[in-house]
Amino acid sequence: MNNAAFDVRPLSVGAEILSLDQNAPLSVATREALYAAWLEYGILLFHGVDSNERHIELSRVFGDLELHPFPEIRYKEEPLFIELGAKSPGNVYIFDGSDMRAGRLPWHRDTAFTRDICKGAMLRLINVPPVGGETMLADTALAYDALPDVMKQRLEGLEYKATLRLGPETQSGAGSFWTSVRRPTPEECPDGTYEPDVASRYPAVIHPALLTHPESGRKCLFLSPTYVDYFLGMPQEESDELLDALTKQMTAPEFTYKHFWAPNDAILWDNRRFIHAAMGHDPKYRRWGLRTTLAGPVQTGRFFDPTATEWTGLAVAD
Ligand SMILES: O=C(O)CCC(=O)C(=O)O
Ligand SMILES: [Fe+2]
């Protein structure tokens, strides 16, 4: 791409950045071209990001970084990172009767339980399990474009209520891949896998179903299936049907990319445009990574209960 020091190879959706020397400084031309590629493709996959410093430097090409709302998962050495798989195996559940997996996450948009949904995130895996642990990403701008006009009109001005849910219940709603999920019994569960329930700290929020992307002007389906309670002003049954239909639309194979990780791969997603899911892995393997979060500036949300207040507890003590 012009003066830039890399090549771009499109993936099924998104693009891979090739031939970028991860030890070389990033010139202004390279930064600008990376940003332009990100806006065009919505996901950039980097390889060989072999230091935390480079991970931060690359992330900053795309905007200011912010702290993640969960203080517990911030990386002690650099709190602008969150750690995935720190408490290995963490979050272990039994899926479809007998399939025990750690780290599985259904389709979601990051920080969609807050009023100011983050701009993006860059996830880098350092320890990759020998099998499993893939990440899937779905382009909600392409999914919107492909909707029939009548559906596009139905979504105009529509809002939804969203609540953070992290336990088994959130694993079985729209956007999940399995038929049942339950917590393992203490006997089944390796040490230290019960997570504290942090969901109650975050008051429910309202967001629009559609977002006009502030930079590209493209319309995106702005849903995080995992957290949606219902569309405002719609009976629950109708709301569930609509959420189901839109989730199927967003996650249709032609709008998704599935990443099979190698160590020090880093994926940057535009969180305004993409949703993502983690397939999970056998808890006997380690899967560890770090992730940055790009700050706003999409401020589309408000508290469902106007008298609700933001949780600041541990953030202050941190
Ligand atoms: O573990 C993964 O593959 C994705 C985790 C995730 O949802 C995130 O980092 O935001
Ligand atoms: Fe995520």
Domain annotation covers residue 20: yes
Q: Distance between CA 240 and CA 244 in Å, rounded?
A: 6
Alpha-carbon 121 to chain mean position? 7
Alpha-carbon 159 to chain mean position? 20
Domain annotation covers residue 101: yes
Does residue 12 come out as left (phi exceeding 0), alpha (psi in the -120 to 50 range) or beta?
alpha
Please give all residues whose beta carbon lies within 6 A of any atom in ligand 1, as ranges: 84, 103, 105, 110, 121, 123, 135, 276, 278, 291
Residues 6+ apart with CB under 8 A from 217: none
Q: Which of 167-176, 212-221, 266-275 has the lowest mean pLDDT?
A: 167-176
Domain annotation covers residue 1: no
User: Which alpha helices (DSSP H) does 177-312 contain, by range?
Assistant: 236-250
CATH code of 305's domain: 3.60.130.10
Domain annotation covers residue 230: yes
> Are residues 48 and 264 in contact, defined by beta-carbon separation less than 8 angstroms?
yes
Q: Which helix (H) or strand (E) holds 315?
A: helix 313-317
What is the domain count for the chain?
Answer: 1
Domain annotation covers residue 83: yes
Which of 206, 204, 164, 199 lies closest to 299 in space, CA to CA? Answer: 206
Domain annotation covers residue 25: yes
Atom 10 of ligand 1, residue of closest alpha carbon = 110
pLDDT tens digits along 118-169: 999 999 999 999 999 999 999 999 999 999 999 999 999 999 999 987 766 6
The predicted pLDDT at position 197 comes to 57
Domain annotation covers residue 2: no
Residues with CB under 5 A from ligand 2 (ion): 110
pLDDT tens digits along 173-203: 666 776 776 656 666 656 655 454 567 789 9
Q: Whole domain around residue 178: which residue ranges? A: 7-317
> Are residues 19 and 6 in contact, defined by beta-carbon separation less than 8 angstroms?
yes
pLDDT band at residue 315, thresholds of 50, 70 and 90? very low
Domain annotation covers residue 290: yes
